Amino acid sequence: MTKPKVLISDKMDENAARIFEERGCDVDVKPGMTPDELKAVIGEYEGLAIRSSTTVTPDILDAATNLKVIGRAGIGVDNVDIPYASSKGVVVMNTPFGNSITTAEHAIAMIMALARQVPEANARTQAGEWPKSAFMGIEVTGKTLGLIGAGNIGSIVASRALGLKMKVIAYDPFLTEDRAIELGIEKVDLDTLLSRADFVSLHTPLTDDTRNILSRERLEHAKPGIRIVNCARGGLIDEAALKDCLESGQVAGAALDVFAEEPAKANPLFGAPNFICTPHLGASTTEAQVNVALQVAEQMADYLVNGGVTNALNMPSLSAEEAPKLKPYMALAEKLGSLVGQLAHGNLTKISIEREGAAAELNGKPITGAVLAGLMRRYSDSVNMVNAPYLAKERGLDVSEIRHDREGAFNTLIRVTVETAQGPRSVAGTLFGNHAPRLVEIFGIGIEADLAGDMLYVVNDDKPGFIGRIGTLLGDHGINIGTFNLGRRDAGGEAVLLLSLDEALTPETIAEVEQVEGVKVAMALGF
């Protein structure tokens, strides 16, 4: 079996390469390549491990004909075109927890530096002054820290701040009351936070909702003398407005590790009073760089070798432990999606994926992704679980997932239903022996069939002699039948025939099948 090839294109802890090799990957370490150099070689690799220096553009992705996964050793993925990677079927992962403590500690360091004006006092002292009377700091004990974002990093900052005897309040739409109580903090709205906080620390990603969350209006109406720390993402603060507020004294101090444009070699805040900055050092500790390098290698290797998906930004998570158990279900789901996609006519508006029995107890997201991957192949050959949901969304397909606690005739069942102009069309399947995918129902008719290879699908009147006529026609064309699967609603009513064939049918042969007495529908299928 050929080992997956991985390229490490940025400087990274050397143990990352070792982990890739130990887990069954071949790895090349080539930091410092130009975009043209990367473009020239990327087609050889299934995995690309990066930090912040490599920029993965559409040009790079177009050349990455074998690429399956990009792993960012760190949390920020501004240097990866995620929508384009998704459209190309490439998983994008990051390591959101490897540098959490490091970033949280940097935010606390910034708070302390602001409180005691450490950088300026240091600079003037080393310049030969002794400006003891020029600096009057404040204690952090008893002060209120307002967190904008109380997720992984924000919660660590909260615990450190509570240890410093600060009061902590937080604005986070995703923070529950129970979680706030668990953290020992108070959940408030943003306006309340800005009116009460002595210090504000931002810990939120940059999205359309959070861009300039500290706007001019909010800064001007905040508590006078507030101090602001941002070790999260640039673009969360209106930098021009912050400068004006520092100069007016409305904001007593600000400490930024991130900027709207980086590298920030020129910025309106430079030179502003009581302003401290660092060059995006939030994750810059030895421990953090080792952690994220090891984590990205582990995650990428798990995906390439075992199919496990961890910390993906464009695909449902699937642990390496879950992957073997889910693999046959995903194979079944993909076949059902492909079948209904081939059989349903016209534009599809809705799809429903139902799970019952043992299937209902599993992680449903990968199963849904597999169904969509099979379905969307009716529109494109370059489809996988990564880009299928995006293609479905582009086409306005309404996707719903339904989990049933009940157990029916089968121990485990997946049903896929699509809405068409002719009404709903449904197929269902199960696993035999917990590993073999098997179709058990098609458009309400019970039928047992293995969906594999080239097949012939026929809807016909259930009349004597029909099977013989179909068999004779195929025999006359030298086409061998592998399996013969039948189902019907009622005796003498509508029936379904599924044949697996040793070779694909030509359009001409399908046209002949359509002329056989009793045939209502005839289609060639492929799996």
Cα 352 off chain centre by: 21
For this structure, is 438 an active site residue? no
Q: Of residues 203, 280, 415, 425, which has the active-site annotation?
A: 280
Q: From its phi and psi, is residue 122 left (phi > 0), alpha (psi between -120 and 50) or beta? A: alpha
**Residues whose CB is less than 8 angstroms from the CB of residue 41 and which lie 6 or more positions away in sequence, other chains included:** 7, 30, 33
Written in H, E and C, the secondary structure of 41-59 is HHHHCCEEEECCCCCECHH
Q: Which of 421, 457, 425, 443 is nearest to 346 (CA)?
A: 421
Which string of b and e fits 93-132 if b means at least 16 CB within 10 Å? bbbbebbbbbbbbbbbbbbebbbebbebbeeeeeeeeeee
The Cα–Cα gap between 55 and 75 comes to 15
Separation between Cα atoms, residue 320 and residue 108, nearest integer Å = 36
Select which of 129, 182, 262, 503 is catalytic: 262
Task: Give catalytic status of residue 403 as yes or no.
Answer: no
d(CA 203, CA 170): 10
457 and 487 Cβ atoms separated by less than 8 Å: no
414, containing H or E segment? strand 412-420
Question: Looking at the chain, how many residues does it have?
Answer: 527
Residue among 51, 72, 233, 425 flagged as catalytic = 233
Cis peptide before 263 (omega within 30 of 0): yes
DSSP state of 312: B
Evaluate whether 53 touches 10 at the Cβ level (below 8 Å). Answer: yes
Catalytic residue flag (residue 262):
yes
As annotated, the active-site residues are: 233, 262, 280
